[in-house]
Every structure is written in structure tokens, then in C-alpha cells.
Amino acid sequence: MERSDDVFTKDGTTDMNKAPANKEKTGTWKACPFIIGEEVCERLAYFGMSSNLVNYLHQSLNLNNAAASKVVTNFQGTCYLTPLLGAFLADAYLGRYWTIAIFSILYIMGMALLTMSASIVGIKPSCQNGICHPTAPEKTSFFIAIYLIALGTGGIKPCVSSFGADQFDDNDEIEKRRKSSFFNWFYLSINIGALIASSVLVWIQMNVGWGWGFGIPAVAMAIALVFFFAGTRLYRLQPPGGSPLTRILQVLVASMRKWFVKPPADKTLLYETANEESSIKGSRKLAHTHKFSFLDKSAVVTASDKVNGSVNPWRLCTATQVEEVKCIISLLPVWACCIVFTTVYSQMNTTFVLQGNTMDRHMGAHFRIPSASLAVFETLSVILWVLIYDQFIIPLARKFTGHARGFTQLQRMGIGLLISTLSMIAAAIVEVGRLNYIKRKGYYDLKTIPMSIFWQVPQYVLIGCAGVFTLIGQLEFFYDQAPDAMRSLCSALSLMAIALGSYLSTLIVTIVTRNKKLGWITENLNRGHLDYFFWLLVILSFINFMVFLLVSRLYVYKKAWAVYPEARHAKDIGAMRGMMHRLGTEAAKLNSNPRRSNEGLIYYYKYPLFHVLGGIVHLGFEYCSLGV
């Protein structure tokens, strides 16, 4: 007879009726097609309106190259900053499912307003002889629309990848392996939407009209919401665990209050709940780590910690709550190293497009390629490299590294950082060649020079390859290393790196264009030095890569153990403890006190004796296994 613990998930997830999630009826790849379908349509909508936005600003709102580039990077930055709000609401109150649903509606409203601002007389800019003269209300309607989209995407970006990963139980080895593939296919779905946007939709915008060019993405976003709701009965939901910011503040305040308290040498004496579950809803307990030991003060029990018999959470925190804060602090150096990468990545929608505008875009005698459509090569590169990575690189790397995923997440990210540097080198070389050609021929005032736009293909292909390594690795890393009840917040943190990368790009562009006549990015790029801008990014990328090597070498991966409702697993846990008692005095000592079980798990993996005992106590430890 199948045991109940084999039927239900062990990570605290529930179904839509708030009952424990049934493995056979919910989650895994039964639910993921709906999430991926939603992501394809949402990304088609986002890239459909943003990929060519720099040209819309230049043509319809009459902004110069530098101004248009800054508007785009500021918008992109905001799109990756608003996820902090969405993540907070998801982790603290709404849960990921309802956060995605509510913010998707705001997204659709923004797309609808953007479509109207490009097609309805009165809020559409009026143009004569190819020159547009937008009024203040017309500009206002446009900016309200794009920042409403930025708000809408703030509830989707930090939640949808985490929501997809929630469909796989970390405590089931088969599901855990499938989760790694989910991130690859999730990123692939992003680029399928981007492929359609950067080819078909960009062509429509440049040849049919901006009303249709923005209207189709608006419809796509509505379809995305339908896709999402269609899979509702199959989803696994991670309950919101309360305000993560409050828990972080409680640890910091309690640590400061106990400034002169010395943590015990035996860390198993730190305060922890007596039962098997964490006091934080929807979260597993975390094994103690020795980093940032100052924060351990907040889990030291003192006489003044209890008021009328109850614990004051602003004076005494659980060891798991302390480890949550340590996890967040540990992620920050890795997060900081992602900022320069996203600065490089953002060039694909700005300077790469402006560079392409000056080149020969003909393919054949009559067909002209929109410069923004060259992003299709980045998308094709992503699709190709996702397949190669999943089917060939992982099995090959596994033979050499012995790691189940081929590379660790940090190794994967580091490879991408190096490839992104090569992408900027390729862009700089193309620009040097373009400027040298102009100099030889005297084409300084020629709008389009007779140099094929396909010289840009290598820089797009390389940036796509870099994304497969760094961005997918980043998605997986910030999900896996986040505390269970802070996963949306940590996803938002990774997205915030993209925001800061976009803002950093804006800052650099502002600095290098302060002299409008002699700046690097001038209105006439033939008289500027866009190559200097690319070489600067090469230098920043290489420095960032070297710092990342140091950061990744010092990083220690998180360890957690499974959540089991007491009523469902009391007999199994009792049996495990009895078995441990019979194996030896030390093992019994480590497990007789619930506060000591974290240390018992650490010793099991750290000392050879426990490797020997592991074969005997396999049944017991499978209920208390560490997350890897």
C-alpha cells in the first residue's frame, strides 16, 4: 500500500483548496505547460512593445538618439525595479498565483493605453513630411502607458519563474532533477516570444504602423492571462510566509539589542522551534552556518526574551530566521556582479539598434531589414544553446565534474560573464571597422553607409549564448539559494540587478554625451565614437568577471531540510529517532534535542563515520535530507 508521504509533496506546497498538494494530480510537467505558455505570450507582448521602442521614440516622439536610448534604458530599469513590490506582496500576503493574476490585469491596461496612444487621433502624435510634433498630453499618455506596463510586469517577473519551480518538490530527487530542466525550457519560452516580436512585430511596426505593432502585443498579453488561468487546478501553491522584511528587521534589531551577549560555542543551543516544522509558514528549517556569526546573537535565549510566557520576536528569533538573513546577505556579492552583465545585455535594444540604423539593411534588391530585427539572431542563439546545453553540455560536463547539473550555478554564470565580454569585443570591432570605412570614403554625412548590417550578427549570437549561461544560471541560483519563504523577493533581487544595469547604462550614456558635438554617442554616429563606449564596457566586464571569480570562490551553498506536517509523519520521525538511538550514543545525542538536528545533518555530510552510518539509516535520513 502506498504511504501517504509518497502521495503528497514534502516542501509545504498546497493545491488551490489549501490542502496538501497531491503529487499525482498537481505540479511537475502537468502544470508547467500552462506557465510556459503564459510566459511565451507575455514575453511576446513585452518584447513586441520594447524591442523597437527606441525607433518609436525617435520617429513619433521626435527624440534624438541619446535621449531615446535613455528613455528605453530607464523604462527597462523600472521594469526590473517594480518586481520588488510584486515580490513583497507575493511572499508576504498574496502568494505568487494571485500576484501574477492581479498584476497581469494592470499589464493589459497599460498595453491597451499604449495601443491607443499610437492609433487614436488626439493622443496620437501628429506628423507632417515624416517629422512628428507630439504635444504634452500625447507624450503624457505614452509615458503613463509604458510605466503602467512597468508596474504590471513587476508582479509577473519575480513570481512566474519561481511559481514554475514551485511545481517541483525539492525533497523528491526525480522532481528535483526535472526542475533544473524547467529553468532551461522556461528561458527558451522567453526567447520564442522574443523571436516573434523581433521579427514579425518589428516588421509590422516599421512597415504597417505602430497601432498594429502595439495592438498585437496587447492581444498577446490577454491570451497570456487566459493560458495562466487555464492551469489553475493543476498548480501547487507555496503559502505566503508573512512579511520577509519584518523578519529581516527582527533579526537585525534583536542582534543590536544583544550587542554584548556572546553566542554559545555549541550552536545547537540557539533558539529553535521544538517541532519538526519551521515557525515560518511554508518554509523548511535551515542548517546553521558559521558565517556572519554576529547575527547569531538574536537567537541566544536570555531571561528578558519572554513577555507573559510568550516570545518577543523583536528580542528572540529562531535559528532558521537568522539563517534566512544570512542567506540574503550571502547573495548580495553575487547579485552585485550581475549588474555590469545586464548593462552589456541592455545594449541589444539600444546601441546595437542605433549602430544598425547606420548600416546597409538590404537583404536582396527590395527587402530592407529593420535594425531591431537583428535581435532574432540573439533569440536563435538562445534556442540553439539551450538545446545544446540541456542535451550535450550537461552530460559531458557531468563526466568531468561529477556534479548532477554538469556545472554549479555559479560556474555557469561565470562562463556567461566571460562570453558577454567577447560580445562587447565583437561590437567594438564592428564599430571600429565601420568608422574606418567612413574615414576612408569620407561618408561622414551619409545616413546609411554601404556596409552590411549582418556584420552585427556575431555580437548578437554571443550575447544570446551569454544569456543561456548567466541569466538561466542566475534564475536557478536565486531560486535555489533563497529561503523558502523569500523566493519571490530573491527573484526580484536578481531582477533588480537588471534594473541597476539599465540605469548604469543610462548614467554612462549621460556622461559620454555631455559634450553634444564631441561626445561618443552623437546624433550623427558617423562623427561619434560608439567604439569607445563598447571598449569601456569590455573593460568593465573583464573587471567584473575577475571580481566574480573571487566572490564565487568564497560562496557557501545553502542547506535545508524537509517540512513534514506532524500529524502525517509523526510515526516515521519517531522511528527514525529510535533507529538513530540504536546506532550510537553520539547519533542519539545529536537527535534527541530538536535544536540539535541541524548539527546532526551537518555532521552526517561532514564526517566519514556518518557516511558509513548513512547506508544503515537511509530510511530515516530521507525524511530529513539536506537541499543541495
Q: Confidence band (pLDDT; 50, 70, 90) for 482?
A: confident
Mean pLDDT (the chain, rounded): 82
pLDDT of residue 602 exceeding 90, the answer is: no
SS3 assignment, position 245: helix
CA proximity to 460, closest of 561, 578, 378: 378
621: β partners: none
Q: How many CB atoms lie within 10 A of CB 20?
A: 18
Q: What are phi and psi of 561, to 5 degrees?
A: -130, 160
Q: Confidence band (pLDDT; 50, 70, 90) for 128?
A: confident
pLDDT of residue 515 exceeding 70, the answer is: no
pLDDT of residue 539 exceeding 70, the answer is: yes
Of the ranges 28-32, 428-432, 443-447, 460-464, which one carries the lowest mean pLDDT score?
443-447
Of the ranges 80-89, 190-199, 228-237, 574-583, which one carries the lowest mean pLDDT score?
574-583
pLDDT of residue 590 exceeding 60, the answer is: no
d(CA 122, CA 314): 56
pLDDT in tens, 561-570: 554 444 334 3
Query: Per the structure block, which three cell numbers stand in for 572?
Result: 516515521
Looking at residue 250, what is its pLDDT? 92
Amino acid at 592: S
pLDDT of residue 161 exceeding 70, the answer is: yes
Sign of the Cα torsion 544, 549, 554, 559 reads positive
pLDDT in tens, 407-442: 888 999 999 999 999 999 999 999 999 999 998 988
d(CA 239, CA 12): 8
pLDDT of residue 231 exceeding 90, the answer is: yes
Strand (E) positions, 499-579?
A: none
Q: Confidence band (pLDDT; 50, 70, 90) for 282?
A: low
d(CA 252, CA 313): 11
Mean pLDDT to the nearest integer, 300-325: 84
Of the ranges 4-18, 66-80, 92-106, which one carries the lowest mean pLDDT score?
4-18
CA proximity to 372, closest of 391, 347, 404: 347
539 Cβ contact partners less than 8 Å away, ≥ 6 residues apart: none
CA proximity to 528, closest of 69, 1, 49: 69
Query: Per the structure block, which three cell numbers stand in for 287?
Result: 542548517
In what helix (H) or strand (E) does residue 132 lie, and over which residues does it extend? strand 131-132
* The Cα angle at residue 378 between residues 154 and 201, in degrees rounded to 5: 65
Q: Where are the alpha helices (DSSP H) in 60-135?
A: 65-79, 83-89, 95-117
pLDDT in tens, 239-275: 887 788 888 999 999 999 998 888 888 888 888 887 6
Four-CA torsion 101, 102, 108, 111, nearest 10 degrees: -120
What's 197's DSSP letter?
Answer: I
Mean pLDDT to the nearest integer, 518-547: 89
Of the ranges 70-74, 270-274, 364-368, 517-521, which one carries the lowest mean pLDDT score?
517-521
SS3 assignment, position 309: coil
Query: Per the structure block, which three cell numbers stand in for 598?
Result: 541541524
d(CA 187, CA 469): 11
Of the ranges 127-136, 336-345, 423-432, 508-517, which one carries the lowest mean pLDDT score?
508-517
Contact 627, 172 (CB under 8 A): no
Query: Per the structure block, which three cell numbers stand in for 218?
Result: 496587447
CA proximity to 231, closest of 116, 97, 354, 358: 97
626: β partners: 561
Q: Confidence band (pLDDT; 50, 70, 90) for 406?
A: confident
> pTM higher than 0.75 for the full model?
no
d(CA 319, CA 350): 47
pLDDT in tens, 112-124: 999 999 988 888 8
Check residues 309 and 110 and name the one with the higher pLDDT: 110
Query: Per the structure block, which three cell numbers stand in for 386?
Result: 539551450
Contact 59, 209 (CB under 8 A): no
d(CA 339, CA 544): 9
Check residues 625 and 67 and name the one with the higher pLDDT: 67
Q: Confidence band (pLDDT; 50, 70, 90) for 537?
A: very high
Q: For the chain, how far is it from start to end, CA to CA, in angstroms?
A: 30
CA proximity to 479, closest of 168, 98, 41: 168
Sign of the Cα torsion 605, 608, 609, 613 reads positive
Class of residue 587 by CB neighbours under 10 A (exposed 0-12, middle 13-18, buried 19+): buried
Cell 492581444 sits on residue: 219
Check residues 234 and 600 and name the one with the higher pLDDT: 234
d(CA 186, CA 455): 30
Contact 383, 191 (CB under 8 A): yes
Looking at residue 277, what is its pLDDT? 65
Q: Confidence band (pLDDT; 50, 70, 90) for 446?
A: confident
d(CA 181, CA 517): 50
Q: Confidence band (pLDDT; 50, 70, 90) for 182?
A: confident
In what helix (H) or strand (E) does residue 17 lie, and over which residues does it extend? none
> How does DSSP assign 200-214, residue by residue?
IIHHHHHHT-HHHHH
d(CA 284, CA 288): 13
Looking at residue 143, what is its pLDDT? 93
457 Cβ contact partners less than 8 Å away, ≥ 6 residues apart: 374, 377
360: β partners: 452
Contact 57, 71 (CB under 8 A): yes
d(CA 218, CA 440): 46
d(CA 326, CA 329): 5
pLDDT in tens, 342-382: 999 988 878 898 899 889 988 877 788 888 788 889 888 98
553 Cβ contact partners less than 8 Å away, ≥ 6 residues apart: none
Looking at residue 102, what is its pLDDT? 95
d(CA 357, CA 351): 10
CA proximity to 355, closest of 471, 181, 529, 128: 529
Mean pLDDT to the nearest integer, 474-490: 85
Looking at residue 226, what is its pLDDT? 94
Of the ranges 140-154, 164-178, 340-354, which one carries the lowest mean pLDDT score?
164-178
